[in-house]
Amino acid sequence: MHNTDYRIAVIEDDPIQLETLVLALQQQGFVVEAFNNRISAEQRFAQSLPNLVISDIILGAEMDGGFDLAKHLLSYNQPIPIIFLSERQSEFDIYTGHALGAIDYLPKPISLNVLMVKVKNLLRITASPKPKVDENRSKIINLTLANEKFKAYWHQKPLDLTATEFEMLKQFANAGEGSVVSYDSLQASTQGVVERNTINTHICRIRNAFKKLPLTLT
C-alpha cells in the first residue's frame, strides 16, 4: 500500500490538535485535508470524497457535529470509513458513533502511534486507492471538456461559457446523463462564488449556450 494513494479528511475544531493530527498523518505519507468545522468539510465532500474521515464529535458550537457529519456521509452511495476521536466515552455515544458508520471510536487524549496503526489497517481492509480521474473526460456523449482552458465542446463546437458556468457544467459531465447533481455540489464547484438562489439562472445560461450551436448530425 502506498500511503500517497489515499486522502484523509481530518475534522477537529481545536487548532493545536488539528495541526498535530495533520502533521502525524503527513509524516506517514498520507494526503491530508484539514477542516475546523463541519460545514467546510461537507462542502469539500460535495466535490470529492476522501478515503477516510477522522473527526471529533464536538465541533465548535455543534455538540454533535461529528455525528451530523457522519449522517451526511450516509447520503452518498460510496461508503466512507470514519474514525471518531472524542472525550465523550459514554456507552450511548460510542453506540451512536458506530451506528452512524464509524469503524472505530477512540478516546481523547489519543495515542498517535495507535491511531497511525489503525488508519493503515483500516485503509488496507476497507479502501482501495481512488483512481486518478481524467478531468477532461465527460460521461456525456459528444460533450468534451478542456479543463486547463475552461472550455467545453458540444459535437466539437465550442460552447460560449464563463469559467463559472464551465465549472458547473463539469459537474453534470462528470456525473453523466440521468444523474442528479445537487445545488450544494454546483455551489461548491464554484468555490462559493455562485449564490444558491442564482444557480437556476446560470443553468439557463448553460442551456442557451447549447441552443445557440447549430445541430449537426453525423
Q: Give the pLDDT confidence of 77-99 residue by residue, as tens digits.
A: 788 899 999 999 999 999 999 99
pLDDT category at 48 given cuts 50, 70, 90 is confident
pLDDT category at 16 given cuts 50, 70, 90 is very high
Same-domain check for residues 93 and 18:
yes
> Is the pTM value of this prediction over 0.85?
no
For the chain, the average pLDDT equals 86
Phi–psi pair at 56, nearest 5 degrees: -75, 165
Same-domain check for residues 117 and 32:
yes
Q: Which strands sit side by side in the sheet containing 151-154, from one edge to the other?
A: 143-146, 151-154, 157-158
Does any domain span residue 137?
no
Length of the chain in residues, anyone? 218
Domain that holds residue 198: 143-211
Q: In one letter, which amino acid is 104? A: D
Give the contacts of 174 (CB within 8 A, at least 6 positions apart): 133, 138, 139
Q: What is the DSSP letter of 193?
A: -
The three-point CA angle 76-26-79 to 5° equals: 15
Same-domain check for residues 87 and 173:
no
pLDDT tops 70 at residue 123 = yes
C-alpha cell at 152: 467545453
- Terminal-to-terminal C-alpha distance of the chain: 46
Of 70, 92, 126, which marks where a domain is finished?
126
Same-domain check for residues 8 and 68:
yes
Question: Looking at residue 198, what is its pLDDT?
Answer: 84
Does any domain span residue 156?
yes
Query: Which CATH number fits the domain that encloses residue 111?
Result: 3.40.50.2300
Of 126, 151, 185, which marks where a domain is finished?
126
pLDDT category at 191 given cuts 50, 70, 90 is low
Q: Is 118 helix (H, G, I), strand (E, B) or coil?
A: helix
User: Minimal CA–CA distance to 51: which of 14, 71, 81?
Assistant: 81
pLDDT category at 174 given cuts 50, 70, 90 is confident
Number of independent structural domains in the chain: 2
Of 73, 96, 126, which marks where a domain is finished?
126
Query: Which CATH number fits the domain that encloses residue 185?
Result: 1.10.10.10
Lowest mean pLDDT among 9-18, 114-123, 209-218: 209-218
pLDDT tops 70 at residue 134 = no
pLDDT digit string, tens, across residues 198-217: 888 989 999 999 999 876 54
